[in-house]
Protein backbone atom coordinates (compact mmCIF):
# COMPACT_ATOMS: atom_id res chain seq x y z
CA UNK A 1 0.00 0.00 0.00
CA UNK A 2 1.38 3.41 -0.97
CA UNK A 3 0.44 6.78 0.49
CA UNK A 4 0.13 10.10 -1.29
CA UNK A 5 -0.61 13.38 0.42
CA UNK A 6 -2.43 16.12 -1.48
CA UNK A 7 -2.98 19.62 -0.25
CA UNK A 8 -5.68 21.96 -1.59
CA UNK A 9 -6.56 25.28 0.08
CA UNK A 10 -4.69 24.20 3.21
CA UNK A 11 -6.69 20.98 3.40
CA UNK A 12 -4.55 17.87 3.42
CA UNK A 13 -5.89 14.65 2.04
CA UNK A 14 -4.12 11.36 2.55
CA UNK A 15 -4.88 8.82 -0.14
CA UNK A 16 -3.91 5.19 0.18
CA UNK A 17 -3.56 3.32 -3.06
CA UNK A 18 -2.24 0.04 -4.28
CA UNK A 19 -0.10 -0.31 -7.37
CA UNK A 20 0.05 -3.34 -9.60
CA UNK A 21 2.50 -5.80 -8.17
CA UNK A 22 4.77 -7.93 -10.32
CA UNK A 23 3.18 -11.24 -9.32
CA UNK A 24 -0.14 -13.05 -9.39
CA UNK A 25 -0.91 -16.29 -7.56
CA UNK A 26 -3.60 -18.56 -9.03
CA UNK A 27 -4.66 -21.40 -6.70
CA UNK A 28 -7.73 -22.46 -8.72
CA UNK A 29 -6.12 -25.82 -9.61
CA UNK A 30 -4.71 -26.57 -6.17
CA UNK A 31 -2.34 -28.32 -5.49
CA UNK A 32 -0.94 -26.73 -8.66
CA UNK A 33 -0.25 -23.07 -7.94
CA UNK A 34 0.36 -20.87 -10.97
CA UNK A 35 2.50 -17.82 -10.32
CA UNK A 36 2.72 -15.24 -13.09
CA UNK A 37 5.65 -12.81 -12.88
CA UNK A 38 5.43 -9.70 -15.06
CA UNK A 39 7.26 -6.41 -15.33
CA UNK A 40 9.77 -5.34 -12.73
CA UNK A 41 10.06 -5.50 -8.98
CA UNK A 42 9.42 -1.87 -8.09
CA UNK A 43 10.06 -1.92 -4.34
CA UNK A 44 11.48 -4.17 -1.68
CA UNK A 45 8.05 -4.02 -0.03
CA UNK A 46 6.51 -5.59 -3.16
CA UNK A 47 9.13 -8.34 -3.10
CA UNK A 48 8.46 -9.01 0.58
CA UNK A 49 4.71 -9.29 -0.13
CA UNK A 50 5.56 -11.85 -2.83
CA UNK A 51 7.65 -13.91 -0.38
CA UNK A 52 4.92 -13.67 2.26
CA UNK A 53 2.29 -14.84 -0.26
CA UNK A 54 4.50 -17.79 -1.15
CA UNK A 55 5.09 -18.70 2.49
CA UNK A 56 1.34 -18.54 3.17
CA UNK A 57 0.86 -21.53 0.85
CA UNK A 58 2.28 -23.67 3.66
CA UNK A 59 -0.76 -22.81 5.78
CA UNK A 60 -2.77 -25.30 3.69
CA UNK A 61 -0.63 -28.04 5.29
CA UNK A 62 -0.71 -30.23 2.19
CA UNK A 63 1.70 -30.84 -0.69
CA UNK A 64 1.70 -28.34 -3.54
CA UNK A 65 3.57 -27.62 -6.77
CA UNK A 66 4.60 -24.17 -7.99
CA UNK A 67 4.29 -23.34 -11.70
CA UNK A 68 6.05 -20.06 -12.52
CA UNK A 69 5.44 -18.16 -15.74
CA UNK A 70 8.38 -15.74 -15.83
CA UNK A 71 8.27 -15.20 -19.59
CA UNK A 72 7.27 -11.54 -19.16
CA UNK A 73 9.42 -10.82 -16.13
CA UNK A 74 11.57 -7.71 -16.50
CA UNK A 75 15.23 -6.92 -15.88
CA UNK A 76 15.47 -8.00 -12.26
CA UNK A 77 18.31 -6.88 -10.00
CA UNK A 78 20.72 -9.55 -8.83
CA UNK A 79 19.92 -8.25 -5.34
CA UNK A 80 16.58 -10.09 -5.46
CA UNK A 81 18.26 -13.36 -6.46
CA UNK A 82 20.48 -13.08 -3.41
CA UNK A 83 17.50 -12.22 -1.24
CA UNK A 84 15.68 -15.26 -2.67
CA UNK A 85 18.53 -17.53 -1.54
CA UNK A 86 17.93 -16.43 2.06
CA UNK A 87 14.21 -17.13 1.62
CA UNK A 88 14.98 -20.62 0.26
CA UNK A 89 17.20 -21.28 3.28
CA UNK A 90 14.31 -20.20 5.54
CA UNK A 91 11.84 -22.48 3.71
CA UNK A 92 14.16 -25.47 4.13
CA UNK A 93 13.67 -25.21 7.89
CA UNK A 94 9.94 -25.88 7.56
CA UNK A 95 8.94 -29.33 8.71
CA UNK A 96 7.06 -30.94 7.18
CA UNK A 97 8.06 -29.63 3.77
CA UNK A 98 4.96 -29.26 1.59
CA UNK A 99 6.55 -27.95 -1.62
CA UNK A 100 6.76 -30.99 -3.94
CA UNK A 101 8.41 -29.45 -6.98
CA UNK A 102 8.52 -26.32 -9.12
CA UNK A 103 8.44 -25.50 -12.80
CA UNK A 104 9.83 -22.23 -14.13
CA UNK A 105 9.19 -21.05 -17.69
CA UNK A 106 11.33 -18.13 -18.74
CA UNK A 107 12.85 -16.23 -21.62
CA UNK A 108 16.05 -14.25 -21.79
CA UNK A 109 19.67 -14.78 -20.88
CA UNK A 110 19.59 -12.51 -17.83
CA UNK A 111 16.82 -14.49 -16.09
CA UNK A 112 18.59 -17.72 -17.01
CA UNK A 113 21.74 -16.37 -15.37
CA UNK A 114 19.81 -15.29 -12.24
CA UNK A 115 18.19 -18.72 -11.83
CA UNK A 116 21.54 -20.51 -12.25
CA UNK A 117 23.22 -18.03 -9.90
CA UNK A 118 20.52 -18.43 -7.25
CA UNK A 119 20.65 -22.23 -7.22
CA UNK A 120 24.45 -22.24 -7.27
CA UNK A 121 24.35 -20.30 -3.98
CA UNK A 122 21.46 -22.20 -2.40
CA UNK A 123 20.04 -25.53 -3.56
CA UNK A 124 16.23 -25.57 -3.91
CA UNK A 125 13.77 -26.86 -1.33
CA UNK A 126 12.34 -29.38 -3.83
CA UNK A 127 13.22 -30.31 -7.43
CA UNK A 128 12.99 -27.37 -9.84
CA UNK A 129 12.50 -27.84 -13.58
CA UNK A 130 13.36 -24.88 -15.78
CA UNK A 131 12.37 -24.53 -19.42
CA UNK A 132 13.80 -21.73 -21.54
CA UNK A 133 11.17 -20.79 -24.10
CA UNK A 134 12.17 -19.67 -27.55
CA UNK A 135 10.73 -16.38 -28.81
CA UNK A 136 7.39 -17.54 -30.19
CA UNK A 137 6.69 -20.68 -28.16
CA UNK A 138 3.27 -20.50 -26.51
CA UNK A 139 3.17 -20.35 -22.72
CA UNK A 140 1.14 -23.25 -21.34
CA UNK A 141 2.18 -24.04 -17.79
CA UNK A 142 0.07 -27.20 -17.54
CA UNK A 143 1.46 -28.58 -20.81
CA UNK A 144 5.04 -28.07 -19.62
CA UNK A 145 4.19 -29.45 -16.17
CA UNK A 146 2.95 -32.65 -17.83
CA UNK A 147 6.16 -32.83 -19.89
CA UNK A 148 8.21 -33.14 -16.69
CA UNK A 149 7.18 -36.80 -16.51
CA UNK A 150 7.12 -37.52 -20.26
CA UNK A 151 10.15 -35.53 -21.51
CA UNK A 152 12.33 -34.62 -18.51
CA UNK A 153 15.39 -34.19 -20.74
CA UNK A 154 14.08 -30.88 -22.14
CA UNK A 155 14.38 -29.18 -18.75
CA UNK A 156 17.29 -27.82 -16.78
CA UNK A 157 16.92 -29.53 -13.42
CA UNK A 158 17.99 -28.25 -10.00
CA UNK A 159 17.82 -30.69 -7.11
CA UNK A 160 17.81 -30.17 -3.36
CA UNK A 161 20.95 -31.07 -1.47
CA UNK A 162 20.89 -34.49 0.10
Sorted by where each begins, the domain ranges of the chain are 20-158
Q: Which of 142, 135, 54 is nearest to 99 (CA)?
A: 54
Tell whether the torsion through CA atoms of 43, 74, 140 and 120 is positive or negative: negative
Confidence at residue 126, expressed as pLDDT on a 0 to 100 scale: 98
**Angle (deg, nearest 10), helices 109-121 and 78-92:** 40
**Contact criterion met (CB below 8 Å) for 65 and 98:** no
SS3 of 91, please? helix
62 φ/ψ sector (left φ>0, alpha ψ -120 to 50, else beta):
beta
What architecture is the 20-158 domain classified under in CATH?
Answer: 2-Layer Sandwich (3.30)
Confidence at residue 78, expressed as pLDDT on a 0 to 100 scale: 96
Confidence at residue 57, expressed as pLDDT on a 0 to 100 scale: 96
Q: Which residues of the chain have pLDDT under 70?
A: 1-20
Q: What's the mean per-residue pLDDT of the chain?
A: 90
SS3 of 50, please? helix
In sequence order, the 6+-apart residues with CB closer than 8 A to the CB of 95 are: none
Confidence at residue 104, expressed as pLDDT on a 0 to 100 scale: 98
Amino acid sequence: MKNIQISYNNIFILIKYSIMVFFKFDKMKWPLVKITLTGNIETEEDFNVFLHSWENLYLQEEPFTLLFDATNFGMISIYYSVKMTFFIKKLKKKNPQFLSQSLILLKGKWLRFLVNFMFAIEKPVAPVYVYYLQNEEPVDLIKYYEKISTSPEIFAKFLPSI
